[in-house]
Amino acid sequence: MGAFGIRGSYGSAPDAAALREIGPGVEWVSLFCYSFDQLDAMLAAIPPGVRVFVPVNNEWQEVRGDWSGWAQAMDDFAPRFKGRVHIVGCGNELDLWHWQPPIGKPQAHLTPEFAANLVNVAAGPLRAAGIKVAMSSVASGRWPDYLREMADGCRDMATFADLHLYVKRIDNLPANPDWQEAQDALNVARDIAGLPVLSSEAGIKVDDAGGEDAQAEWGRRLVGLSRVYDGGTYCPLILFAYADGVGTDKEQGGQAFGMIAPDGRRKPLWREVQKACGGPSESPVVPPTPPLPEPPTQITSGPHGEWIGSGLLRELNRRGWTPLRGEEQARLACAEGELVWTGQDARALKWEAA
């Protein structure tokens, strides 16, 4: 059976507290970032029991823009993230960038054969580390053609195909006859690929849905579809997106996908997904959690122990770091320890070594 997940990106991703608020029905997260170090920081905020999908492409520091670091990056990724990452996507919407990029010119070298080779190179080290392998996601108007050729070149090495569910209906929502039903599209993808099919991004814009309430209903139906989707084991349908900040500058307002508005407002999409995932009926309105701050380099002494100095505190404030919902004590895990809020005074930000 399938499962439900949520997509976040570096700087705008769900942490353990947010996942608890949304509910136990969130079994997966997709984490989009640009380096091993960023992924380490994001993983530190994900609780045990939540599985992780990570798309890797040439935006990653280790891969480089010309893809020349792909093989070494996969060799290094596997042992570093063994046991913490469950599926790696080898590229992201390469068919779109090959044929109809949202910006720039079509990239002729991103052929289906190129995408298949990414899988073939990555499969050895990733499989040895127990990490499953997904082909590049597809999302263009010609995705069936690209998927067919890509799968023919790497079917024996990949575990999954990945179809992004955009401009798709769920149980006739929205009632646009030009849009394909999401379930039908997944079935077509499975027939073409000859493999189980997951969706690492599934979303609808506010205006396309017909308003925030309709977008919320679409999200609720996506959760329902994920429960009955017979895609095989480990086949999540992952909502795009956790917050509007995950999208581009153009994907805001009526063009936004997220559950959380830029001002921290939980949108109707949040509430409907939360109800479908078994979360509490009400959530406090708090800003989305920003990325974890870097471990402090300077600590000054105070009457209550070792406190972060005012200079670093200003930097945390600049980044928007705040205590979690005014609790008496809240913790954010960092790579080498924890930042601990122990009261109502901003001076009580304490660094504790792990």
**DSSP 8-class letter at 152:** H
**Is the full-model pTM beyond 0.75?**
yes
pLDDT in tens, 207-228: 999 999 999 999 999 999 999 9
CA distance 288 to 262: 8
CB atoms within 10 A of CB 316: 17
Domain boundaries, the chain: 2-276, 299-353
Whether the CB-CB separation of 251 and 261 falls below 8 Å is answered with no
CATH T-level topology, domain 2-276:
TIM Barrel (3.20.20)
pLDDT given for residue 104 in this prediction: 85
**Amino acid present at 300:** T
Give the 3-state secondary structure of residue 20: helix
Rounded distance, CA 130 to CA 79, Å?
10
Residue 216: predicted pLDDT: 98
User: What is the residue-level pLDDT of the chain in tens, covering all 354 positions?
Assistant: 579 999 999 999 999 999 999 999 999 999 999 999 999 999 999 999 999 999 999 999 999 999 999 999 999 999 999 999 999 999 999 999 999 888 888 999 999 999 999 999 999 999 999 999 999 999 999 999 999 999 999 999 999 999 999 999 999 999 999 999 999 999 999 999 999 999 999 999 999 999 999 999 999 999 999 999 987 667 999 999 999 999 999 999 999 999 999 999 999 999 999 999 999 865 555 555 555 545 444 444 333 333 444 444 444 455 555 443 333 334 444 333 445 444 333 333 444 433
**Distance in angstroms (rounded) separating the CA atoms of residues 111 and 76:** 25
Cα–Cα distance for residue pair 147/187, rounded to 1 Å: 13
**Neighbour-count burial for 271-280, b at 16+ CB within 10 Å, e otherwise:** bbbbbbbebe
Residues 6+ apart with CB under 8 A from 48: none
pLDDT attached to residue 3 = 94
Instruction: Answer whether 300's CB lies under 8 Å from 307's CB.
Output: yes
Which structure tokens are listed for 75? 């060799």
Beta carbons of 99 and 106 less than 8 angstroms apart? yes
Tokens matching residue 30: 């997709």
